[in-house]
Amino acid sequence: MKLLIKGGTVVDPAARRMYRADVLVEGDRVTAVDKRLAGGDARVFDAGGKLVFPGLIDMHVHLREPGQEYKETIATGTRAAVRGGFTAVAAMPNTKPVADTPAVIRYVLEKAREAGLARVYPVGALTRGSRGEELSEIGELKAAGAVAFSDDGRPVAGAGMMRRAMEYARMLGVPVISHCEEPSLAAGGVMHEGLVATTLGLRGIPAAAEEVMVARDLILAEMTGCHLHVAHVSTAGAVRLIREAKARGVRVTAEATPHHFTLTDRAVADYDTLAKVNPPLRSDADVAAVREGLGDGTIDVIATDHAPHASHEKNVEFDLAAFGLVGLETAVGLVFTELVADNVLDVPAAVAKMSLNPARILGLQAGIIEPGAAADITVFDPEAEEVVDPALLAGKSKNTPFGGYRLKGVVYAAVVGGRVHLRDR
Protein backbone atom coordinates (compact mmCIF):
# COMPACT_ATOMS: atom_id res chain seq x y z
CA MET A 1 0.00 0.00 0.00
CA LYS A 2 1.54 3.26 -1.12
CA LEU A 3 0.05 6.71 -0.70
CA LEU A 4 1.32 9.97 -2.20
CA ILE A 5 0.11 13.16 -0.53
CA LYS A 6 0.76 15.57 -3.35
CA GLY A 7 1.08 19.33 -3.63
CA GLY A 8 0.47 20.34 -0.03
CA THR A 9 2.38 22.61 2.31
CA VAL A 10 4.13 20.54 4.97
CA VAL A 11 4.31 22.06 8.45
CA ASP A 12 7.40 21.26 10.51
CA PRO A 13 6.80 22.45 14.07
CA ALA A 14 10.30 21.46 15.27
CA ALA A 15 11.98 23.73 12.72
CA ARG A 16 9.08 26.19 12.92
CA ARG A 17 8.72 26.28 9.17
CA MET A 18 6.40 25.38 6.30
CA TYR A 19 7.46 24.18 2.87
CA ARG A 20 5.91 22.81 -0.29
CA ALA A 21 6.53 19.07 -0.59
CA ASP A 22 4.96 15.77 -1.47
CA VAL A 23 4.84 13.06 1.16
CA LEU A 24 5.18 9.40 0.24
CA VAL A 25 3.77 6.82 2.60
CA GLU A 26 4.52 3.12 2.28
CA GLY A 27 2.74 0.80 4.67
CA ASP A 28 2.56 2.54 8.02
CA ARG A 29 5.67 4.70 7.51
CA VAL A 30 6.62 7.89 5.74
CA THR A 31 9.35 6.98 3.24
CA ALA A 32 10.04 10.21 1.43
CA VAL A 33 9.34 13.94 1.75
CA ASP A 34 10.42 16.00 -1.22
CA LYS A 35 9.40 18.25 -4.07
CA ARG A 36 7.65 16.50 -6.94
CA LEU A 37 7.93 12.94 -5.79
CA ALA A 38 7.10 10.24 -8.31
CA GLY A 39 4.70 7.92 -6.57
CA GLY A 40 4.77 5.14 -9.11
CA ASP A 41 1.77 2.94 -8.36
CA ALA A 42 0.86 4.91 -5.22
CA ARG A 43 -2.66 6.12 -4.62
CA VAL A 44 -2.43 9.89 -5.11
CA PHE A 45 -4.06 12.19 -2.61
CA ASP A 46 -4.32 15.75 -3.90
CA ALA A 47 -3.37 18.14 -1.11
CA GLY A 48 -3.09 21.25 -3.31
CA GLY A 49 -3.85 24.38 -1.29
CA LYS A 50 -3.90 22.39 1.92
CA LEU A 51 -1.66 22.18 4.98
CA VAL A 52 -0.05 18.87 5.89
CA PHE A 53 0.56 18.53 9.64
CA PRO A 54 2.25 15.82 11.64
CA GLY A 55 -0.70 13.86 13.07
CA LEU A 56 -2.36 15.94 15.77
CA ILE A 57 -2.44 14.64 19.33
CA ASP A 58 -5.08 15.59 21.91
CA MET A 59 -3.51 14.76 25.25
CA HIS A 60 -6.66 15.30 27.34
CA VAL A 61 -9.84 13.43 26.42
CA HIS A 62 -12.47 11.44 28.29
CA LEU A 63 -13.51 8.40 26.26
CA ARG A 64 -15.85 7.10 29.03
CA GLU A 65 -15.15 3.43 28.33
CA PRO A 66 -15.23 1.26 30.35
CA GLY A 67 -18.31 2.07 32.35
CA GLN A 68 -20.14 4.98 30.78
CA GLU A 69 -20.64 3.81 27.23
CA TYR A 70 -23.92 5.71 27.02
CA LYS A 71 -21.86 8.92 26.87
CA GLU A 72 -19.07 7.77 24.57
CA THR A 73 -17.16 4.65 23.65
CA ILE A 74 -13.59 4.26 22.53
CA ALA A 75 -14.93 3.60 19.04
CA THR A 76 -17.15 6.70 18.91
CA GLY A 77 -14.58 8.88 20.67
CA THR A 78 -11.80 7.92 18.28
CA ARG A 79 -14.18 8.43 15.35
CA ALA A 80 -14.71 11.97 16.66
CA ALA A 81 -10.93 12.31 17.01
CA VAL A 82 -10.12 11.47 13.39
CA ARG A 83 -13.01 13.63 12.16
CA GLY A 84 -11.49 16.45 14.17
CA GLY A 85 -8.02 15.81 12.73
CA PHE A 86 -6.49 14.03 15.73
CA THR A 87 -4.53 10.89 14.95
CA ALA A 88 -3.90 10.18 18.64
CA VAL A 89 -5.51 10.95 21.98
CA ALA A 90 -4.54 10.46 25.61
CA ALA A 91 -7.47 8.97 27.52
CA MET A 92 -8.07 10.13 31.08
CA PRO A 93 -8.44 7.44 33.76
CA ASN A 94 -11.75 8.53 35.36
CA THR A 95 -13.64 5.61 33.84
CA LYS A 96 -15.75 3.08 35.75
CA PRO A 97 -13.74 1.34 37.04
CA VAL A 98 -10.99 3.92 37.32
CA ALA A 99 -7.91 3.07 35.23
CA ASP A 100 -5.85 2.13 38.27
CA THR A 101 -5.08 -1.47 37.25
CA PRO A 102 -3.15 -2.90 34.30
CA ALA A 103 -6.34 -4.73 33.27
CA VAL A 104 -8.17 -1.47 32.58
CA ILE A 105 -5.17 -0.05 30.69
CA ARG A 106 -5.00 -3.19 28.54
CA TYR A 107 -8.77 -3.10 27.99
CA VAL A 108 -8.57 0.48 26.69
CA LEU A 109 -5.69 -0.39 24.38
CA GLU A 110 -7.52 -3.47 23.08
CA LYS A 111 -10.71 -1.51 22.39
CA ALA A 112 -8.69 1.14 20.57
CA ARG A 113 -7.05 -1.51 18.41
CA GLU A 114 -10.47 -2.99 17.58
CA ALA A 115 -11.81 0.42 16.63
CA GLY A 116 -8.84 1.00 14.32
CA LEU A 117 -9.23 4.77 14.20
CA ALA A 118 -7.06 7.15 16.26
CA ARG A 119 -4.27 5.86 18.47
CA VAL A 120 -5.15 5.86 22.16
CA TYR A 121 -2.55 6.43 24.88
CA PRO A 122 -4.01 5.66 28.30
CA VAL A 123 -3.34 7.90 31.27
CA GLY A 124 -3.18 5.89 34.49
CA ALA A 125 -4.70 6.91 37.80
CA LEU A 126 -2.18 8.53 40.12
CA THR A 127 -3.84 7.13 43.25
CA ARG A 128 -5.99 4.05 43.78
CA GLY A 129 -9.55 4.79 42.70
CA SER A 130 -8.38 8.41 42.32
CA ARG A 131 -9.31 8.69 45.98
CA GLY A 132 -6.09 10.51 46.87
CA GLU A 133 -5.23 8.06 49.66
CA GLU A 134 -2.79 5.46 48.31
CA LEU A 135 -0.49 5.38 45.30
CA SER A 136 -1.72 3.33 42.39
CA GLU A 137 0.67 0.79 40.91
CA ILE A 138 2.34 3.37 38.74
CA GLY A 139 5.11 1.02 37.62
CA GLU A 140 2.70 -1.76 36.62
CA LEU A 141 0.44 0.70 34.84
CA LYS A 142 3.37 2.13 32.94
CA ALA A 143 4.44 -1.37 31.91
CA ALA A 144 0.88 -2.01 30.65
CA GLY A 145 1.03 1.11 28.48
CA ALA A 146 0.09 4.15 30.55
CA VAL A 147 2.01 7.21 29.35
CA ALA A 148 1.21 9.67 32.14
CA PHE A 149 -0.55 9.74 35.50
CA SER A 150 -3.40 11.84 36.77
CA ASP A 151 -6.39 11.99 39.08
CA ASP A 152 -8.10 14.36 36.65
CA GLY A 153 -11.45 15.53 37.90
CA ARG A 154 -10.63 14.47 41.48
CA PRO A 155 -7.58 16.53 42.36
CA VAL A 156 -5.28 15.06 45.01
CA ALA A 157 -6.36 17.08 48.03
CA GLY A 158 -3.49 16.21 50.35
CA ALA A 159 -0.17 17.90 49.64
CA GLY A 160 1.67 15.02 51.32
CA MET A 161 0.07 12.46 49.00
CA MET A 162 0.88 14.60 45.98
CA ARG A 163 4.49 14.86 47.08
CA ARG A 164 4.87 11.08 47.32
CA ALA A 165 3.12 10.55 43.98
CA MET A 166 5.46 13.01 42.30
CA GLU A 167 8.55 11.45 43.85
CA TYR A 168 7.48 8.03 42.62
CA ALA A 169 6.53 9.26 39.16
CA ARG A 170 9.89 11.01 38.82
CA MET A 171 11.69 7.76 39.52
CA LEU A 172 9.78 6.15 36.64
CA GLY A 173 10.23 9.13 34.33
CA VAL A 174 6.53 9.71 33.74
CA PRO A 175 4.72 13.05 33.91
CA VAL A 176 2.05 13.84 36.47
CA ILE A 177 -0.92 15.68 34.99
CA SER A 178 -2.67 17.82 37.58
CA HIS A 179 -6.22 19.11 37.46
CA CYS A 180 -5.59 22.01 39.81
CA GLU A 181 -8.59 22.83 41.96
CA GLU A 182 -8.49 23.30 45.71
CA PRO A 183 -11.68 21.49 46.80
CA SER A 184 -12.45 23.68 49.80
CA LEU A 185 -12.37 26.82 47.65
CA ALA A 186 -14.33 25.30 44.79
CA ALA A 187 -16.89 23.67 47.08
CA GLY A 188 -20.35 23.70 45.57
CA GLY A 189 -19.40 26.07 42.76
CA VAL A 190 -20.89 25.57 39.31
CA MET A 191 -19.37 28.46 37.33
CA HIS A 192 -16.71 31.19 37.56
CA GLU A 193 -17.09 33.40 40.61
CA GLY A 194 -17.88 36.92 39.49
CA LEU A 195 -20.66 39.28 38.52
CA VAL A 196 -22.26 36.86 36.05
CA ALA A 197 -22.55 34.16 38.73
CA THR A 198 -23.87 36.74 41.17
CA THR A 199 -26.50 37.87 38.68
CA LEU A 200 -27.58 34.32 37.90
CA GLY A 201 -27.56 33.35 41.58
CA LEU A 202 -25.15 30.48 40.90
CA ARG A 203 -22.36 29.48 43.24
CA GLY A 204 -18.94 30.55 42.02
CA ILE A 205 -15.60 28.78 41.74
CA PRO A 206 -13.03 31.50 42.37
CA ALA A 207 -9.90 31.78 40.25
CA ALA A 208 -8.01 31.24 43.50
CA ALA A 209 -9.27 27.64 43.67
CA GLU A 210 -7.11 26.87 40.64
CA GLU A 211 -4.21 29.12 41.55
CA VAL A 212 -3.75 27.81 45.08
CA MET A 213 -3.24 24.28 43.76
CA VAL A 214 -1.09 25.36 40.82
CA ALA A 215 1.17 27.09 43.33
CA ARG A 216 1.27 24.00 45.55
CA ASP A 217 2.03 21.63 42.69
CA LEU A 218 4.74 23.91 41.29
CA ILE A 219 6.42 23.95 44.67
CA LEU A 220 6.17 20.15 44.87
CA ALA A 221 7.52 19.77 41.32
CA GLU A 222 10.46 21.94 42.28
CA MET A 223 11.01 19.89 45.42
CA THR A 224 10.73 16.46 43.79
CA GLY A 225 12.10 17.15 40.31
CA CYS A 226 9.00 15.49 38.86
CA HIS A 227 7.65 16.62 35.49
CA LEU A 228 4.40 18.39 36.30
CA HIS A 229 1.91 19.02 33.51
CA VAL A 230 -0.84 21.45 34.50
CA ALA A 231 -4.11 20.52 32.80
CA HIS A 232 -6.60 23.03 31.37
CA VAL A 233 -5.14 26.31 32.66
CA SER A 234 -7.97 28.81 32.95
CA THR A 235 -6.86 31.81 35.03
CA ALA A 236 -4.48 34.71 34.64
CA GLY A 237 -2.91 33.91 38.01
CA ALA A 238 -2.20 30.31 36.99
CA VAL A 239 -0.53 31.49 33.76
CA ARG A 240 1.64 33.89 35.74
CA LEU A 241 2.65 31.23 38.30
CA ILE A 242 3.62 28.78 35.55
CA ARG A 243 5.55 31.46 33.67
CA GLU A 244 7.53 32.33 36.80
CA ALA A 245 8.19 28.67 37.60
CA LYS A 246 9.45 28.00 34.07
CA ALA A 247 11.80 30.96 34.37
CA ARG A 248 13.14 29.39 37.58
CA GLY A 249 13.74 26.11 35.77
CA VAL A 250 10.94 24.04 37.31
CA ARG A 251 10.03 21.01 35.16
CA VAL A 252 6.55 22.14 34.27
CA THR A 253 4.45 22.11 31.12
CA ALA A 254 0.87 23.25 30.70
CA GLU A 255 -2.14 23.01 28.44
CA ALA A 256 -5.13 25.19 27.62
CA THR A 257 -8.41 24.23 25.98
CA PRO A 258 -10.11 25.91 23.02
CA HIS A 259 -13.08 26.84 25.21
CA HIS A 260 -10.85 28.62 27.72
CA PHE A 261 -9.21 30.73 25.03
CA THR A 262 -12.52 31.44 23.28
CA LEU A 263 -15.39 31.81 25.75
CA THR A 264 -16.00 33.77 28.94
CA ASP A 265 -18.43 33.24 31.79
CA ARG A 266 -20.96 35.26 29.81
CA ALA A 267 -21.55 32.10 27.75
CA VAL A 268 -23.39 30.76 30.80
CA ALA A 269 -25.96 33.58 30.78
CA ASP A 270 -29.50 32.25 30.42
CA TYR A 271 -28.33 29.14 32.26
CA ASP A 272 -26.83 27.44 29.22
CA THR A 273 -25.68 24.13 30.66
CA LEU A 274 -23.64 23.42 27.51
CA ALA A 275 -21.24 26.07 28.84
CA LYS A 276 -21.00 24.40 32.26
CA VAL A 277 -17.48 23.04 32.47
CA ASN A 278 -14.72 22.54 35.02
CA PRO A 279 -12.58 24.57 35.29
CA PRO A 280 -15.27 27.11 34.47
CA LEU A 281 -15.27 29.65 31.66
CA ARG A 282 -13.70 32.72 33.20
CA SER A 283 -13.37 36.48 32.74
CA ASP A 284 -12.16 38.51 29.76
CA ALA A 285 -8.88 39.14 31.59
CA ASP A 286 -8.38 35.41 32.12
CA VAL A 287 -9.06 34.62 28.47
CA ALA A 288 -6.58 37.31 27.46
CA ALA A 289 -3.97 35.85 29.83
CA VAL A 290 -4.45 32.32 28.49
CA ARG A 291 -3.96 33.63 24.95
CA GLU A 292 -0.87 35.52 26.04
CA GLY A 293 0.45 32.38 27.72
CA LEU A 294 -0.09 30.41 24.51
CA GLY A 295 1.65 33.11 22.53
CA ASP A 296 4.75 33.40 24.72
CA GLY A 297 5.16 29.65 25.22
CA THR A 298 4.12 29.50 28.87
CA ILE A 299 1.35 27.16 27.75
CA ASP A 300 2.86 24.35 25.67
CA VAL A 301 -0.18 22.42 24.56
CA ILE A 302 -3.70 22.86 23.28
CA ALA A 303 -5.87 19.97 24.50
CA THR A 304 -9.64 19.70 24.43
CA ASP A 305 -10.70 18.06 27.72
CA HIS A 306 -13.30 16.36 25.49
CA ALA A 307 -16.02 15.43 28.02
CA PRO A 308 -19.08 13.80 26.48
CA HIS A 309 -22.39 13.77 28.36
CA ALA A 310 -25.83 12.51 27.35
CA SER A 311 -28.54 15.09 26.71
CA HIS A 312 -30.48 14.08 29.84
CA GLU A 313 -27.41 15.08 31.88
CA LYS A 314 -27.43 18.56 30.38
CA ASN A 315 -31.13 19.30 29.93
CA VAL A 316 -31.67 19.88 33.65
CA GLU A 317 -31.35 22.61 36.25
CA PHE A 318 -27.92 24.25 36.01
CA ASP A 319 -26.91 23.08 39.51
CA LEU A 320 -27.60 19.48 38.58
CA ALA A 321 -26.11 19.49 35.07
CA ALA A 322 -22.88 17.60 34.39
CA PHE A 323 -19.63 19.53 33.93
CA GLY A 324 -17.92 19.24 30.57
CA LEU A 325 -18.21 19.68 26.83
CA VAL A 326 -17.09 17.83 23.72
CA GLY A 327 -14.15 19.37 21.92
CA LEU A 328 -12.48 16.94 19.54
CA GLU A 329 -14.34 18.04 16.42
CA THR A 330 -14.15 21.80 16.89
CA ALA A 331 -10.64 22.22 18.33
CA VAL A 332 -8.54 22.68 15.21
CA GLY A 333 -11.07 25.05 13.65
CA LEU A 334 -11.13 27.12 16.84
CA VAL A 335 -7.32 27.23 17.00
CA PHE A 336 -7.18 28.63 13.48
CA THR A 337 -10.19 30.94 13.86
CA GLU A 338 -9.30 32.30 17.28
CA LEU A 339 -5.52 32.09 17.51
CA VAL A 340 -3.94 31.88 14.05
CA ALA A 341 -6.30 34.42 12.45
CA ASP A 342 -5.76 36.75 15.44
CA ASN A 343 -1.96 36.39 15.21
CA VAL A 344 -1.68 34.86 18.66
CA LEU A 345 0.16 31.92 17.09
CA ASP A 346 1.66 31.29 13.65
CA VAL A 347 0.82 28.02 11.95
CA PRO A 348 3.94 26.06 13.02
CA ALA A 349 3.54 27.21 16.63
CA ALA A 350 -0.14 26.27 16.64
CA VAL A 351 0.67 22.85 15.16
CA ALA A 352 3.48 22.34 17.69
CA LYS A 353 0.99 22.75 20.52
CA MET A 354 -1.15 19.96 19.06
CA SER A 355 1.55 17.54 17.90
CA LEU A 356 5.21 17.92 18.76
CA ASN A 357 4.75 19.33 22.26
CA PRO A 358 2.26 16.76 23.55
CA ALA A 359 4.42 14.04 21.94
CA ARG A 360 7.47 15.24 23.84
CA ILE A 361 5.55 15.51 27.12
CA LEU A 362 4.15 12.00 26.79
CA GLY A 363 7.40 10.53 25.44
CA LEU A 364 5.96 9.58 22.04
CA GLN A 365 7.89 9.32 18.79
CA ALA A 366 5.67 11.71 16.88
CA GLY A 367 5.29 15.31 15.84
CA ILE A 368 7.36 15.40 12.66
CA ILE A 369 6.91 14.31 9.07
CA GLU A 370 10.18 12.76 7.90
CA PRO A 371 11.34 9.52 6.31
CA GLY A 372 11.06 6.73 8.84
CA ALA A 373 8.37 8.42 10.94
CA ALA A 374 5.03 6.74 11.55
CA ALA A 375 2.58 7.78 8.86
CA ASP A 376 0.35 9.86 11.17
CA ILE A 377 -0.64 12.93 9.20
CA THR A 378 -3.43 15.50 9.34
CA VAL A 379 -4.49 17.32 6.18
CA PHE A 380 -6.18 20.64 6.80
CA ASP A 381 -7.82 23.11 4.45
CA PRO A 382 -7.16 26.60 5.86
CA GLU A 383 -9.43 28.36 3.37
CA ALA A 384 -12.57 26.25 3.79
CA GLU A 385 -15.20 27.37 6.30
CA GLU A 386 -17.90 25.56 8.17
CA VAL A 387 -20.66 26.31 10.63
CA VAL A 388 -20.67 23.92 13.58
CA ASP A 389 -23.75 21.70 13.54
CA PRO A 390 -23.93 19.63 16.74
CA ALA A 391 -26.12 17.05 15.00
CA LEU A 392 -23.29 16.24 12.58
CA LEU A 393 -20.72 15.45 15.26
CA ALA A 394 -19.35 11.92 14.98
CA GLY A 395 -19.01 11.44 18.74
CA LYS A 396 -21.88 9.89 20.65
CA SER A 397 -22.69 13.02 22.67
CA LYS A 398 -23.39 16.41 21.16
CA ASN A 399 -22.77 18.69 24.15
CA THR A 400 -20.90 21.51 22.46
CA PRO A 401 -21.42 25.20 23.24
CA PHE A 402 -20.11 26.03 19.75
CA GLY A 403 -23.23 25.12 17.76
CA GLY A 404 -23.70 27.80 15.09
CA TYR A 405 -20.08 29.02 15.29
CA ARG A 406 -18.45 29.80 11.97
CA LEU A 407 -14.99 28.22 11.85
CA LYS A 408 -12.34 29.15 9.33
CA GLY A 409 -10.32 26.11 8.41
CA VAL A 410 -11.65 22.59 8.10
CA VAL A 411 -9.94 19.25 8.64
CA TYR A 412 -9.78 17.37 5.37
CA ALA A 413 -8.33 14.02 6.36
CA ALA A 414 -6.51 12.20 9.11
CA VAL A 415 -3.99 9.51 8.20
CA VAL A 416 -3.26 7.07 11.00
CA GLY A 417 -0.47 4.57 10.41
CA GLY A 418 -0.96 4.97 6.68
CA ARG A 419 -4.74 4.49 6.79
CA VAL A 420 -6.65 7.43 5.36
CA HIS A 421 -9.77 8.70 7.14
CA LEU A 422 -11.36 11.27 4.86
CA ARG A 423 -13.76 13.61 6.54
CA ASP A 424 -17.25 13.26 5.15
CA ARG A 425 -19.02 16.51 4.59
CB of 307 to another protein, least distance (A): 18
Q: Which residues of 301-336 are buried (b: 16+ CB within 10 A; e: fewer)?
A: bbbbbbbbbbeebbeeebeebbbbbbbbbbbbbbbb
Between vectors from CA 350 to CA 374 and to CA 305, what angle results, nearest 5°?
Answer: 80
- Helices 236-248, 207-224: crossing angle, 10 deg rounding: 10
Site for another protein in 243-282 (CB under 8 A): 270-271
Footprint (CB under 8 A) of another protein, residues 203-242: 203-204, 206
Which residue's CB is nearer to another protein, number 270 or number 424? 270
Strands (E), 167-286: 176-178, 191-192, 204-205, 228-230, 252-256
* Cβ proximity to Zn ion, 119 vs 179, nearer residue: 179
DSSP state letter for 325? B
Closest distance of CB 30 from Zn ion, Å: 34
> Which of Zn ion, another protein, none sits in contact with 317, Cβ below 5 to 8 A by type?
another protein
**How many CB atoms sit inside 10 A of residue 46's CB?**
12
Torsion of CA 262, 49, 119, 294, to 10 degrees: -30
285 interacts with another protein by CB under 8 A: no
Here's the x/- map for Zn ion, 138-177, by CB under 5 A: it reads as --------------x-------------------------
Strand (E) positions, 148-274? Answer: 148-150, 176-178, 191-192, 204-205, 228-230, 252-256
The count of other CB atoms within 10 Å of the CB of residue 251 is 17
> Counting contacts by CB under 8 A, is residue 315 touching another protein?
yes
Helix 74-83 and helix 102-115: axis angle, to 10°?
50
Q: Does residue 179 touch Zn ion according to CB under 5 A?
A: yes
Instruction: Give catalytic status of residue 305 as yes or no.
Output: yes
Region 173-202 residues binding another protein, contact defined as CB under 8 A: 193-202
Contacted by 70, from another protein, Zn ion, none: CB < 5 to 8 Å by type:
none
In the complex, minimum distance from the CB of residue 197 to another protein, in angstroms, rounded to a whole number: 7
Number of residues that bind another protein (CB under 8 A): 23
φ, ψ for residue 276, nearest 5 deg: -90, 115
Contact between 282 and 265 (Cβ < 8 Å): yes
Part of the chain binding another protein (CB under 8 A), chosen from 98-106, 128-136, 313-321, 409-417: 313-321
In the bound state with another protein, the residue whose beta carbon lies nearer, of 202 and 228, is 202
Of these partners, Zn ion, another protein, none, which one is at the site of residue 152 (CB under 5 to 8 Å by kind)? Zn ion
Binding site for Zn ion (CB under 5 A): 152, 179
Binding site for another protein (CB under 8 A): 193-204, 206, 270-271, 312, 315-321
Q: Which residues are catalytic?
A: 305
